[in-house]
Structure 1
């Protein structure tokens, strides 16, 4: 019996995005889970060594887990390199006393805020960060997003404050993505298990920036999609390509007891980003 070989193809039946970042770029690079000033230094040093253009550094343990001096130092380090620093709101379901988040179907509650008291704690967290100069935060609760957007519209938060909606509450369809953008989300972290076509549908529904874990941590799926980078850029621009780590222990909340892991994983995330840069270059998306 003769088996007819099928020529493999890279083509995906999905429309190209016609949107870019304000400066005209289609993609930017984000290094996530950078926990504290020393980790920021590691990322900056490794990015310089490997030739990785880093546009955003994000932290996951939360604003409440950082000292004022640590936030200021992280902000200064990033500002010196013209890098956006994004901090996660501290309070969240997975840190709280409620047990539902531990239930078999409780995963969607990991980033949720329980009751008005926890909403108030989260708003206080954001206001503290804003007073220290932070202009980008990671939000995982819909009600908090609405309240913060109201404060931004009223002038109580700076007009250039960026609300980044977390993968913990990620939109999985174009309608959800459009609603989140209408409610104030400037950048949307979509799940890494969506197909290229499904991501294109989200792009067609909203011009909001898309964040995407090219490599996702185990607790959000552990997907590894480096070869999809060219299509991700083509259909989802403007997009932040995020490089997490599969097969790595969780870091949140971080601290000195985890310093070795924090620094080694920060270094490896930049190396993973360099792999992504090589894919961008091979596809003609980087000079």
Structure 2
């Protein structure tokens, strides 16, 4: 940073917003997440792009739902995750936006699209998790409070594995620290916070919980289209332990994914890994001492290989 600019504007940019003392179990401050990894072919594209750009991807997440993958596909994703030491987090498939009711497809009801409708969908949601666990998956995106509590209770009784990770989806992202604290108390393992948080907002969130926070450094147009990968050093300093999540602005929506949009899904994730690589260059340029977790790091919901 030119000395004159630094003196004139009194950088750094955080202007007194406190740094976090939190870390992941391995001592790292941040991890990289690539979302919308919808199936084995898309995960293969992530791994290929990560090797090309020399980027460690710690977690991939998926939005269509485990219910739309065959058991063979679930096992393939679990095997790739296990081999590469990365978390594979799948959305729970049944939800209002997929259901026969029209409410979730109206402007007023759209915000409730990730919730589960009635006992029928709740039971299918639990079964979706059990089916994927049987195939080796150990991490799931949750967008319904009732489902979170049900899965937490099943985990406490030993009916679901202790190492399962309950990742709160951006569909349920808390907008204030009190709401974040409620999700933590209900059993969340990691929480996606809104992508447009200011530094002060992020610090307020971090002050109420030690849970990892997931933050889009770039988000899809549907989530506001923020592009702030260049801010990674400050965001990690304030929000650690932080999953730096790379969506993609100006990209085709692929939910629910299938053969009809597979090429788009593959191109999208390759671009997301590239965005992550650029952000890591900004991090290196900043001189910050932020450390990223490596493969197989403690606390990751790395899948189990099932034959």
TM-score category, normalised to shorter length: over 0.9
Matched, 1:239 2:223: no
Q: Give 2:146's match in structure 1, choosing from 143, 146, 153.
A: 143
Unaligned runs of 5+ in 2: 1-6, 292-307
Deviation at 1:220, TM superposition (A): 1.3
CA contact (8 A) 1:13 1:197 kept: no
Deviation at 1:7, TM superposition (A): 2.5
Aligned to 1:158: 161
Matched, 1:179 2:182: yes
Q: Give 1:52's match in structure 2, choosing from 50, 55, 58.
A: 55
More displaced stretch, 223-232 vs 75-84: 223-232
Q: Distance in 1 between matches of 2:97 and 2:285?
A: 40
Aligned to 1:109: 112
Q: Distance in 1 between matches of 2:9 and 2:196?
A: 25
Q: Distance in 2 between matches of 1:170 and 1:286?
A: 25
Q: Give 1:7's match in structure 2, choosing from 6, 9, 14.
A: 9
Matched, 1:275 2:278: yes
Aligned to 1:253: 256
Equivalenced residue count is 283
Q: Distance in 2 between matches of 1:162 and 1:259?
A: 27
Q: Distance in 1 between matches of 2:258 and 2:106?
A: 27
Aligned to 2:232: 229
Aligned to 2:131: 128
CA contact (8 A) 1:34 1:266 kept: yes
Deviation at 1:279, TM superposition (A): 1.7
Provide TM-score, normalisation by structure 1. Answer: 0.95
Aligned to 2:305: none
Q: Give 1:205's match in structure 2, choosing from 171, 195, 208.
A: 208
- CA deviation string 1:186-232 (max 9, x = no partner): 10000011111111111110111100110011111111112321111
Tell which has more relative contact order, 1 or 2 (C-alpha 8 A, sep 6+): 2
Q: Distance in 2 between matches of 1:100 and 1:58?
A: 26
Aligned to 1:73: 76
Q: Distance in 1 between matches of 2:43 and 2:290?
A: 24
Aligned-CA RMSD value: 1.4
Deviation at 1:60, TM superposition (A): 1.0
Unaligned runs of 5+ in 1: none
